[in-house]
Structures are given as C-alpha cells and as structure tokens.
Structure 1
C-alpha cells in the first residue's frame, strides 16, 4: 500500500468524535462561557467607579435599593436634571425601584449552568456509545501522527459494519434522547429571554433594539435606554441621627457603579440570545423536517457521501430507520469522506451477504442450523 494515497485524503478540522452539532455547541460551550464571564464581570463593582462608592451612603443604597423618578427620564441631562431620572419627586409621580443589581451575578451564574444542563444530560445518557462505535476512524484519530489507524482501517471498518448490521433499529432511544436535548436547548434559551425580561422589569426584550435605535442621536437630546434600565446615578432614602438625636430623613443621590458594567453585559447578552434563539429555532425546524420527511434524510446522507457510493446509499435508505440514519449521518460528520464511502460499500456487501444466506423456509433454516 503506497503512502501516496494519504495525499488524497482531505483533512477536516475537528477536535474529537461528537454527536453534538454546531448549534448544540453554541449552547453548552460558548453561551455557557459567556454567562460565566458575565458573572465574573458583574461582581467587579467594588473596583469600578470612583472611591466614593465605598462611602456609607453608597453602600447603604446598594444594599437597600434605589429608585428613579419616571417623569424625569425624558428631561435634558445637565440642565433640567443632574442625571436621568434623578430629582425631587412630586405628588403623584411614579417611581421605579432598583434592587435587581444585587442579584445579577447569581442570576447570570444559574442561567449559565442551565445552558450546560442539556449537554450534561446527553453525556449521561449517551455514555460514550458513539466514541465506541466509531473507534479510531474519526478524523483526528485516523489522520493523526500514528499511521497504524490508516493501515488497520479494514479491520475497524469490518467491526463497525458488523455492529451496525446487528443493531439496525436498535438505537431509537439513543436518537430520541438527543432530539429531546436539542429541544431542551431551545426551551432554555427562550426561557432565559423571558425570565431576564421579567427580572429587569419588562425592559429586556426590547432593550437592544432601543439602544441601537438611539445610538446615532445626539447624546444631549436622547434618553439612553441603558441609563433607564441600568441607572448609574439613582436616589435613595437615607436615615440617620441628627445633632439633637432626632432621626433625619435625607433624599440622597448615590452611585451604582456595577450598572456601568451591567448595561454592557446585558446589551451583549441581548444580541447573543436573540441570534441564538433564531439559530436554534431554525435548527429545530430542520430537525422536525428530517424526522417527518424520509426523502430529506435520504438527500442529506447522499450529499455527505461520495458520488461513487450513491447506489449504496439508495440501498441502505430503503430499510434504514430514523435512528439508523442519525447514526450514519454522524459517522459521516466525524469520518473522512473516503473512509465513510468505504464503510458504506462494506455495509451494503454485508447486508447482501446476510440476505442471501438467511433461510427462506423451515427446511432451509434446519439445513443452515446443521451446517453451523
């Protein structure tokens, strides 16, 4: 066998044989990382802002909560009000209380964990089955520094063919559990959107759109949605003892330094979650179509295989169930195309041999039993 044949193999970029697709990985890998990073950043309020944040008033207001006057948000900053929403409240004015920022790190952490749960659940159910099925025929193992996988591929392909032949229609729960985890990803991202909207007082679903809508306007003439949802300066009712020992009630301004970071974090999360929801919904539509339409499954497998084995694909799909197709598609994603085509040829040959040698009558069955 000539080593020159190695030059005909196209290298695919992959890390390890996995069943999870790119949309699935966006959830448990990148979104999980984004939320964990946001958790860390949102807890850095102690080193953001001026040193006055450590004063008693600011610390008290942070713990007890703050409020802004809704009527004062549309006024011009620096002329009519010192800061958006900050000023004396009049009788009948509605105010918005802000205490959520104390819980932001905890909420972000829990939401990040929720994005990891479907992957964790799938790994528990899957138990490394696919890695055992594909053996060392995955791209990284097969095209690694150790060439013995290349020269021993015939033996590994034969083992794979025998396993797939004997377990046809036997992986239904394996496939259905993965489909459930994909659906769980969609439920998690949608639930995250609506829970965050509730957590921020009904402002999150339109938060990013409102920010981008005013981004090009003059800062002097606009009401920044970020300062409305995440006020950097707010009011607080501070009570203390006066010189004569009587209780003094002061309406003070306080700096919420953590909101300087929170407003950017949630703007990024809004963009990310909206895009992720759209991608996940489209993927679930694709998954639903593959479940309901066998011709579509046939077409997808034909695209992934080499044109030289289209006949083999036709023969396989005549009897392949949804779970069989799902295993074959994942094998094609994780194997080099020439190796996958070689496997399909061997698989069809094994199927033909099994069909031709299987007994067709009671007499044939007894005769086959005596020979064995």
Structure 2
C-alpha cells in the first residue's frame, strides 16, 4: 500500500506565469517532495522486517515482543569507547560490548521520531511559498493576462491577434501604479530570505536531533568510503547503529529483579542512514545555492545599474534605447514587475510590449505638456496683458 502511495506522487510542471525563480522552486517543490518521500520510506517496515528486534534469550514470543517494544520506545545505546575497536575480533559490532563504570555511552532514541521530524521539516520548506501565494493573491497572473509564454505559444491563436488590447491594458496598469508595488516586492524578498532561514535552521536542528553528528556526517562518510571496510570506523554505523544494546529489567521466578543486557538489531536504521546521507548532500548544496542567490538579490536591490543590465538581457537589441528611457522612471518594485513579465513572456512579445509602453509614456508626457501650456494660455487670457490678473491689486 505504501509503495502504491509513493508511486502515485507526480510532479506537475507547467509554464504558469509566476514571480518566483528556480531556487525558490527547489525549496517548495523539490525539497518538499524529497522530504515527503523520505517520510514514506522511513515507515516501510515491511520491506526491511521488524523495525527493531532484540535477542532476549527467552523462547517466548510474548516476552520478545515486550522487549522489542520497550527498547524501541525507551531507546538503545552504544559504548563510545568500543567504536574504534576492530569488528569481529575485539567487538561483535561497532560500539557493542560490556560497558565499564567510567565508560560514556550514547543513547539512540531518535529513530521513533524520524518520520514525524521529516514530515514537519518538509512542510516548513513549503511554508515560504504558501505565505507568498497568500500575500500575492494571484496578482501577477491577473496583471500578465494572456501574454505569458504558455498562453502566447499555446493552441489559442486568438491571444496573438488580441495582443494589442492586452498591451494597452497592461501599459495602462503599469503607468497608473508606478511605485505602487513596494509592499508586493518587499514581501517577495522576505519569502526568499525565509527560504534561506528555513534551510539553515533545518541543518542545525537536524544536527541537534542526531546528537551533533549531522553537520559533518556526509563529509565523514565520503572520507572513509575508499578505506578498507575491515579496518575503518564507519560514520554511518556510529550515527545510525544497526546493532545496539538495551537494558531490560523484569522480575524473576523468586521475585528478584533480573537485568538483561540484550543486543538489538535496529533494521530501520538501514534506511535512515541512506536517507540522511542524501539529505546532507542536498541540504549543503541547497544552502550554498540559496546563499548565493540571496547575494544576487542583494546586488539587485542595492545596484540599479546591475538590475537594469539584467533586464536588458531579456529584450531585443532594437528596443534597448526605449527600455533605458522606461527604466529612468521606475523604482525597485517597478523593475521587479517588469523583470517578472520578461521572464514569463516570449522575448519578442516582451520587446513589442516595451515599444508600446514607451509610446504610451511619451504620449502621456506630451499630453501633460499640452495641458500645462493650455493652462498657461488660459491664465494669460484672464490677465491684464501685464502679467496681472484683473482682480489683483497693483502694488
């Protein structure tokens, strides 16, 4: 049943008009799906056998079940001193052996929480996207109308023949809302920053969850990958032990307390160690890529020439002069809107729109000049010919 559920997951890819970018999608689409699939994999106990199986030493299924459940709930432990010893000669398994009074031990009780933690972390990667969708409210999709790549290059050729009407509506909107999208832009920048905060928080929380071993987990695994398996300490068996010890106490036949020091096979760690190795690689790359993207975002915010140069790469060379004239009247939020339009519109279509927008802006400027001149002429006609109004008193 669980395998069928995993196989039913599909990634829906469409050329929908969106403001976000590829790095943003890595968080809410790919990382979210990776964590949800990892959650399913950690619950596939039927594929690996019992989640934990302890050698109680008593031929009783009911007693063995009690020991297994107790050790899974209360946790197992390994002896730190025994991890560096040779397996098969000095110790039966890494970290497994009799503990002395002064020995430090590491308890492993995290595995019962792994599915819950993975699910919550997956949801956290989706939160910035959800928050942006709530704040944005479909505004950009309404602004771009049917001028996006999907609509323009689709089967509906009517969008091509009606593009002039779309240009007119879009140009009128941009001209009327100049510098009116500041909150819209600031919220988007905040969601991008929130992506970085989520991935960094996930790294450090996972490190705390695994006892301070996650930040160096992948590096340690790759460092010993080429060494002889017989003479190396495998980091995966240290963080995710396959065999561990558990202390179970019960009453004997005479009523005295009997202490059983049992060894337990933690089968679920066979999957956990691979999942967290992949997550380590993914999170490290995602953190680096998101940090670089936020550096890029900071440059676009602080350097107007840089963001104008970015927009020039999305237009035909023949309209770059008109684009420069348009950018002289725009702010950061206006640039983000134009840049989002450029990413979602076909290059020639966006270039045509810029020509139309530039013409509308020039016409608006000419209308304002004509109106101002008309007002001046009207004022002159009501004057006495010497620059004074008739109802004004001489000095």
Partner residue in 2 for 1:223: 233
**C-alpha distance in 2 between matches for 1:187 and 1:266:** 20
Q: What is aligned with 2:345?
A: 335
For residues 239-318 of structure 1, what are the structure 2 equivalents within 5 Å?
Answer: 239-318=249-328
Structure 2: 5+ residue stretches without partners: 1-12, 55-63, 379-395
SS in 1 for 2:245: strand
Instruction: Note the residue ranges of structure 1 that are not aligned, 5 or more in a row.
Output: 1-12
Q: CA shift at 1:184, angstroms?
A: 0.3
Is the counterpart of residue 63 in structure 1 residue 53 in structure 2? no
The Cα offsets for residues 338-372 of structure 1, whole Å up to 9 and x where unpaired, read as 1000000000000000001115776634889xxxx
Distance in 2 between residues matched to 1:291 and 1:100, nearest whole Å? 43
In 2, the alpha carbon distance for the partners of 1:36 and 1:367 equals 72
CA contact (8 A) 1:27 1:116 kept: yes
- CA distance in 2 between counterparts of 1:362 and 1:225 reads 78
Give yes or no for contact 1:359–1:365 (8 Å, CA) kept in 2: no
SS in 1 for 2:100: coil
Counterpart in the other structure of 1:27: 27
Give the drift of 1:59: 2.5
Equivalent residue for 2:177? 167
Question: What is aligned with 1:107?
Answer: 117
User: Distance in 2 between the 1:164 and 1:360 partners?
Assistant: 22
Distance 1:29 1:90 in 2: 50
- Structure 2: distance between partners of 1:367 and 1:31: 66
How far, CA to CA, are the matches of 2:124 and 2:376 in structure 1?
57
| TM-score normalised by the chain length of structure 1 | 0.92
**Contact 2:249–2:258 at 8 Å: present in 1 too?**
yes
Whether 1:38 and 2:38 are equivalent positions in the alignment is yes
Moved more, 38-47 or 90-99: 38-47
3-state SS of the aligned residue for 1:237?
A: strand
CA RMSD, Structure 1 to Structure 2 (Å) = 1.8
Q: Deviations over 1:142-171 (max 9, x none)?
A: 111111111111111111111111111110
Structure 1 residue 95 corresponds to structure 2 residue 122: no
TM-score (norm 2): 0.87
Identify if the C-alpha distance between structure 1 residues 134 and 51 changes in structure 2 by more than 3 Å, giving closer, same or farther. closer
Matches within 5 A, 1:200-215: 200-215=210-225
Residues 14, 139 of structure 1: 8 Å contact kept: no
Give the length in aligned residue pairs.
356
Aligned to 1:125: 135
Structure showing greater radius of gyration is: 2
Is 1:134 equivalent to 2:144 in the alignment?
Answer: yes
1:100-129 Cα offsets, whole Å, 9 max, x none, are: 111111111111111000000000000000
Specify whether residues 138 and 247 from structure 1 end up closer, same or farther in structure 2 by C-alpha distance, changes over 3 A only.
same
